Amino acid sequence: MKILVCISHVPDTTSKINFTDNDTQFDTNGVQFVINPNDEFGLTRAMWFKEKQGASVDVVTVGGAEVEPTLRKALAIGADQAIRVDTPAVDGYAVAKELADVVKNGGYDLVIAGRESIDYNGGMVPGMVAAMTGSSFVNTCIALEIEGSSVTATREIDGGKETVTTSLPLVIGGQKGLVEESDLRIPNMRGIMMARKKPLDVKASIDASSETSTVSFEKPAPKGAVTLVEADNLDRLVDLLHNEAKVI
């Protein structure tokens, strides 16, 4: 089985976010980038298929040279080779077209992507890749078992879970539950050294057109001051909730 894991290069959630050029550009200065958490769950599950079933695992991302450390981390975790599509990831539709081209030319049986990235939270790329490649699609996937070309997957739905069966080729949008957080892997020194020797192929863009553009960014409003009320002063609490917070 040949697996492709789609990796998003995203800011660490602890990074301080700022914008430049009149709030039209994201400021990357001082920002630590990591593998998108939903993608990391998928990569770890792919490693299980590699170790238990002899699958080969490639990783891919769309972006400039600045994303290569993130791909190298994926290689250090255990992926066999990496692909970087040499174009900025500025639009979900364009990214999906670039990834679909990699899938079509790579002969992949299974494509694992995160259900969404934690930077833009678009949640659109995995489904579009499935549509563009004519593959089955399971979103919000929290369990995945494969025997031959037969697939059993479990996904989250409103109010519960749903187990479905399908066949390869398949695209999934994975998330926490595909593996547990305790199963996530930290690259060791041997993995890091081996990653330096693994292939990282830079692929030319197919010049997929973007369907959207960013007009401006805006930070959330700062949190308001906290008013503390004594535990036995219920009248004061009710007055504040009614006249200031206006929630009752």
Q: What is the pLDDT of residues 16-59, one digit of tens each?
A: 989 999 999 999 999 999 999 999 999 999 999 999 999 999 99
- Residues lower than pLDDT 50 in the chain: none
- Structure token digits, residue 150: 């037969």
Q: Rounded CA gap, 172 and 114, in Å?
A: 8
End-to-end CA distance of the chain: 59
Nearest Cα residue to 9 out of 28, 22, 25: 28
Please state whether 61 falls in left (phi above 0), alpha (psi between -120 and 50) or beta: beta
Nearest Cα residue to 60 out of 48, 45, 42: 42
H-type helices in the chain, by residue range?
Answer: 37-53, 68-77, 92-106, 125-133, 189-195, 234-239
Q: Rounded CA gap, 190 and 140, in Å?
A: 33
Phi and psi at residue 217, to the nearest 5°: -110, 155
pTM: 0.87
Report all structural domains of the chain as residue ranges with CATH numbers, in order of start. 2-220 (3.40.50.620)
Q: What is the pLDDT of residues 84-110, one digit of tens each?
A: 999 999 899 999 999 999 999 999 999
DSSP-based three-state secondary structure for 197: coil
CA atoms within 13 A on the CB side of 118: 17
Q: What is the structure's pLDDT at 224? A: 80
- Structure token digits, residue 228: 């503390």
Q: What is the structure's pLDDT at 220? A: 86
Question: What is the Cα 212 distance to its own chain's centre?
Answer: 20
